[in-house]
Structure 1
Amino acid sequence: VEPRAQEVAIMVCDQGPGIPPDRIIDVFAPFTRLETSRNRETGGIGLGLALARSIVQEAGGDIALTNRPEGGLAATITLPRKQR
């Protein structure tokens, strides 16, 4: 968690194979799955990232995915800071 002036950023990283750069935007569409041998074994219907983005945007934030140079993927969620 990284505090910023007007927002809070939360980054979650994995050590998977990453996502081809030209497909990163696609995986936020409902029922979208990248076909790999790994996801055929683990299942899923392709709703996780679509639901996550919807929830985060409803809270006034955003979610972004980036491939990490050392491998894997980083998901960064930014949310507005609540004013006290």
Structure 2
Amino acid sequence: MRLQCDGAMAEIQILDRGAGIPEAQLEAVFQPFFRLEGSRNPATGGSGLGLAIVRQLCDLYGWQIQLVPRQGGGTKACLSLPNSRSEKNSH
């Protein structure tokens, strides 16, 4: 995990080296109940709601979420949030 801040934005990056997400499905994974691995047991593999909830929160609060394939395998999830300290200092 990484955290980067500049004057206006904070970005949280989650980095993994798993199987990754095929480029054609980078948006589909944000749909409720969408799962990449149909063979996973729902009792142990989740319901496919996590990223859908993240996208709803981003839409609600004006945040941005982006999934990016990592060179060498895996995925980078970038969550960008307005820096509230920057907003307070600008008034």
TM bucket by the smaller chain?
A: 0.7 to 0.9
| TM superposition score normalised by structure 2 | 0.81
Give per-residue Cα distances to partners, 1:18-70, cap 9 Å, x unaligned. Answer: 01001101000111001265xx1541110000001212332211110011002
Q: Which structure would you say has the larger Rg? A: 2
Identify the residue that residue 18 of structure 2 maps to in structure 1.
16
Q: Which runs of 5+ in 2 are unaligned?
A: none
**Matched residue count:** 82
Cα distance 1:73–1:36, how it changes in 2: closer, same or farther (>3 A)?
A: farther
Determine the structure 1 residue equivalent to 2:54. 52
Q: Which residue of 1 aligns with 2:72?
A: 70
Identify if the C-alpha distance between structure 1 residues 18 and 36 changes in structure 2 by more than 3 Å, giving closer, same or farther. farther
Superposed CA RMSD in Å reads: 1.4
**3-state SS in 2 of match to 1:58:** helix
